[in-house]
A and B are shown apart, each in its own frame.
Chain A
Amino acid sequence: MEIMEHLAYGFGIALQPINVLYAFIGCLVGTLIGVLPGLGPTATLAMLIPLVFSMPPATALILLTSVYYGSMYGGSTTSILVNIPGESASVITCLDGNKMALQGRAGPALAIAAIGSFIAGTFAVLVLTLVGAPVAGYALHFGPAEFFALMVFGLSTVASLTGTNVVKSVITTCFGLMIATVGIDLVSGAPRYTFGNPFLQDGIDFVVVAIGMFAFTEVIVTAIEVREGTRAEIIKAERIWLSWEEFKYSVPSISRGTVFGFLVGMLPGAGATLSTFIAYNLEKRICKHPERLGTGDIRGVACPEAANNAASGASLVPLLTLGLPGGGATAVMLGALMMLDITPGPLLFQKHGAMVWALIASMYVGNALLLILNWPLVNVFARVMSVPAKYLMPIVLVISTIGVWSLSYSSVDLLLAAGAGMLGYYLRRNKYPIEPLILGLILGGRMEQAYRQALIISKGSNFIFFTKPISLTLLVGAVLFLFLPTLLAKAKQFQSARAASEGAA
């Protein structure tokens, strides 16, 4: 088995003491930050990217994925113990999780969240292991026309499924693509939108915009909300073990959550939030005793938690094989990869095979670490929530500022980040989603190159995109996706998922 050989090699790298240490730190830091309200996986990753540049690429990636995993898990902890979801994907977990905690069953709820996440996460990685290389192999036949269509498809799915209004999502996508045009044009060498400023010739770094839009904006929003400062009471978990009966009772829900979560997560743009809503609602229709769900039923925690982690794992499939991220957090990961000089996509498995397999292996390690780390420490993590914003926000600001500064040691970047923060605040206030902007910024350069290369091949005719079957299918799909929200507007779980991501974004 070729895959087993690759995987064994990957484990060889992932199990090096230094990488295990970083995976451990990543899970720990990720969970700690994930527990904090407001700072979701995307802001956390954006903040940490500058810190990983001095590391070897494999180690940097391992650290980032474990932070991603950890922050997802941290969000569930607060859903259960405080009824405040750390991020939008754990909104559903509040329903049954917090009721369980109120009934004195916080321990089993946290335990099943950890176990469900572990099972689903491992399943997702397993599928990634099996299908990753074949999908990438298939995509190797893609030419510039297909890639352009693929990126249009990715942008359109993300625009259609994030935020509350497609027009607004497409507007922020455009902003992102526009920011990407700043700098020297790679084909003709002409400067674009630099206004004679030499610092702008290299273009605007996506990290600068991401930190500004996610971290700075978060601080400004918190500063405004700080006087409301009502913190819910934390319910302490007494017994942290769960009984064999409870486990057996949850297994079917975990497996269903895993499968639904994975399928939804594969779709670019859908991401973890939508998967939890769909999984929970399907669970309600399929399971025995559906009336128990919502009253503190352990399956109501097991199912969405499994879906959430399966979806986060699944979203790495299009990210690594096609270079197409599924949402905010994976978009930031894509940017990080590109800054480390690794371009995800079909060639990734060939060019950086060792690193990909190390990453996949480290995801198995990270899943196991999370289970070992979080379960016993759950009460400790919950206490982090009560760190007042007035201490926390200055620290977030300093780490982000120094992170931006360390990119190229220039004040121009810092001013750009501050500007992005203010624009981000305006956008958030007026319900424009930020994720499509970041994605547009990251994909913009490659998209334009693909477009122009395709037209060079076709000698200037735009028909090339419609005469190739793959690109035609993708473009038709992209248009259909833009109309999807109008069709889905009546579906309840879609509406509530939107409301949730809006509230917690």
Chain B
Amino acid sequence: MRPEGRLGGVLIMTFAIAYFIVGLSMPRSSLGDPLGARAFPLVLGGLLALLGLSLAVAPVKVGGGAAGSGRPSMKAAALAVLLCVYGYTLPLAGYLVGTILFIGITAYLLGERSWRLLIGLSAGVSVGVYLLFTQVLDIPLPAGLLEFMKG
């Protein structure tokens, strides 16, 4: 049995208690609204705390072998960080610049080493998605660094 079951239960309980405490500061019932804004969160927080407790006391056995059983690697962590950076810098860098870099780096991380393919893939997909969103679906994408080209 992996220890995450017990640890997970404690984490869940801590989260639920925090959620409950924040909920306490919410307004009580008012006229025509016998429950008020805090009732539902308090019920949920209490319920989840109990469930977390039950998991911490009697953890469920977690068998290995099925989906996602591989060890979390640096690669996955790098991917998650990259995703955040991409998302956060999207308005600044602009869609095309950001996406070409992002696809290139992701494909490199996942094992592609041919520069020709990397550049072709990232440029091709970026332009394709750009055309799909701006031309077919009418969803504007941030121009960012390429703002000056709009004229």
A residues lining the B interface (CB < 8 Å): 50-51, 54, 164-165, 167-168, 170-171, 174-175, 177-178, 181, 185, 187-188, 190, 192-193, 216, 219-221, 223-228, 389-391, 393-395, 397-399, 401-402, 404-406, 409, 411, 414-415, 417-418, 421-422, 425, 428-431, 448, 451-452, 455-456, 459-460, 499, 502-505
Whether A167 lies near B51 (C-beta < 8 A) is yes
Q: Which of A224, A389, A452, A460 contacts B70 (CB 8 A)?
A: A224
**Bound-state Cα–Cα, A174 to B46, Å:** 10
Query: Are B32 and A456 in contact, with the CB atoms below 8 A?
Result: yes
The smallest C-beta distance from A359 to any residue of chain B, in angstroms, reads 21
Can you show 26 pairs from A to B with CB atoms below 8 A apart?
A50-B139, A167-B60, A175-B48, A178-B44, A178-B45, A181-B40, A181-B44, A190-B37, A223-B73, A224-B68, A224-B76, A391-B112, A393-B110, A394-B106, A397-B83, A397-B102, A397-B103, A398-B99, A401-B86, A402-B95, A402-B141, A418-B84, A422-B80, A430-B8, A430-B62, A502-B66
Which residues from B are CB-within-8-Å of A219?
79
Structural contact, A390 and B67, CB atoms closer than 8 A: no
CA of A422 to CA of B79, assembled, Å: 11
Q: How far is the CB of A138 from chain B (nearest CB, A)?
A: 28
- Nearest chain A CB to B25 CB, angstrom units: 10
* Chain A residue at smallest Cβ distance from B47: A174
Whether A192 lies near B68 (C-beta < 8 A) is: no
B110 interface neighbour in A50, A164, A389, A398, Cβ under 8 Å: A389
Contact A411 B125 (CB under 8 A): no
A193 to B44, CA, bound (A): 13
B37 touches A398 (CB 8 A): no
Contact assessment for A395 and B40 in the assembled complex, using a CB-CB cutoff below 8 Å: no
Q: Report the separation of the CA atoms of residues A394 and B71 in the bound assembly, to the nearest whole angstrom.
A: 21
A216-B83, A430-B62 are contacts. A224–B71 as well, Cβ < 8 Å? yes
Is A414 a contact of B90 with CB atoms below 8 Å? yes
A224 to B69, CA, bound (A): 9
Binary per-residue interface labels of chain B (73-100) against chain A in the complex, 1 for a CB within 8 Å, 0 otherwise? 1011001100110111011000100010
Closest Cβ neighbor of A228 among chain B residues: B70
- Is the beta-carbon distance between A171 and B90 smaller than 8 angstroms? no
Of all chain A residues, which has the CB nearest B141? A402
- Residues 28-61 of chain B, each 1 if its beta carbon lies under 8 Å from chain A, else 0: 0110111111011100110110011011000010
State the Cβ distance, A391 to closest chain B Cβ, in Å. Answer: 6
Q: Within the assembled complex, what's the spacing in Å between the Cα atoms of A390 and B75?
A: 12
CB distance from A60 to the nearest CB of B (A): 11
Binding site for A on B (CB under 8 A): 2, 4-5, 8, 12, 16, 19, 22-23, 26-27, 29-30, 32-37, 39-41, 44-45, 47-48, 51-52, 54-55, 60, 62-63, 66-73, 75-76, 79-80, 83-84, 86-88, 90-91, 95, 99, 102-103, 106-107, 109-112, 121-122, 125-126, 129, 133, 137-139, 141-142
CB <8 Å contact, B67 and A51: no
Contacts of B112 in A (CB 8 A): 390-391
Interchain CA distance A187-B34 in the complex, whole Å = 11
Contact A190 B102 (CB under 8 A): no
Select which of B88, B102, B110 is within 8 A of A411 by beta carbon.
B88
What is the distance, in angstroms, from A460's C-beta to the closest C-beta of chain B?
A: 4
| CB <8 Å contact, B83 and A401 | yes
- Judge whether A224 and B75 touch: CB under 8 Å: yes
Chain B residues lying within 8 Å of A451, measured Cβ to Cβ, are: 35, 40
Write the chain A residue with the least CB distance to B4. Answer: A430
Docked CA distance A187–B63 (Å): 45
Q: How far is the CB of B28 from chain A (nearest CB, A)?
A: 10
Contacts of B87 in A (CB 8 A): 401, 404-405, 411, 414-415, 417-418
Contact assessment for A428 and B34 in the assembled complex, using a CB-CB cutoff below 8 Å: no
Q: Which of A54, A455, A499 contacts B137 (CB 8 A)?
A: A54
Expressed in whole angstroms, the Cα–Cα distance for A216 and B106 within the complex equals: 13
Question: Chain A's nearest CB lies how many Å from the CB of B80?
Answer: 6
A393 to B84, CA, bound (A): 16
| Residue pair A223, B79 in contact (C-beta under 8 Å) | yes
- Do B22 and A193 have beta carbons less than 8 Å apart? yes
Q: CA A415 – CA B87 in complex, angstroms?
A: 7
Q: How far is the CB of B21 from chain A (nearest CB, A)?
A: 12
Q: Contacts of A502 on B, CB cut-off 8 Å?
A: 66-67
Residue of A nearest to B54 (CB): A167
Q: A171-B55, A223-B110, A224-B76 are in contact. Are A406 and B71 (CB under 8 A)?
A: no
- Write out the residue numbers on chain B whose beta carbons fall within 8 Å of the beta carbon of A389: 110
A178-B19, A188-B36, A430-B62 as given contacts; A398 in contact with B51, CB under 8 Å: no
Q: What residues of A have a CB within 8 angstroms of the CB of B141 in the complex? A: 402, 405-406
Chain A residues lying within 8 Å of B139, measured Cβ to Cβ, are 50, 54, 402, 406
Minimum Cβ distance to chain A for residue B103 (Å): 4
Q: Bound state CA distance, A389 and B84, in angstroms?
A: 21
Instruction: Determine the chain A residues whose CB is within 8 A of the CB of B32 once the complex forms.
Output: 456
Contact residues in B for A418 (Cβ distance below 8 Å)? 80, 83-84, 87
Q: 7 shortest A-B CB distances, which residue pairs?
A: A414-B87, A460-B34, A390-B110, A185-B37, A394-B106, A394-B103, A224-B70
CB distance from A320 to the nearest CB of B (A): 26
Contact assessment for B47 and A220 in the assembled complex, using a CB-CB cutoff below 8 Å: no
A183, B151: Cα distance in complex, Å: 40
Smallest Cβ distance from A216 to chain B, in angstroms? Answer: 7
A139 to chain B, nearest CB (A): 24
A502 to B75 CA separation, bound complex (whole angstroms): 24
- Tell me whether B51 and A421 are in contact (CB under 8 A): no
Contacts of A171 in B (CB 8 A): 12, 48, 51-52, 55
Instruction: Report yes or no: A187 in contact with B137, Cβ–Cβ below 8 A.
Output: no
Say which residue of B27, B69, B79, B110 sits within 8 Å of A190 (CB atoms): B27
Residue from B30, B45, B63, B84 within 8 A of A188 (CB atoms) = B30
Complex CA distance for A405 and B142, rounded to whole angstroms:
10
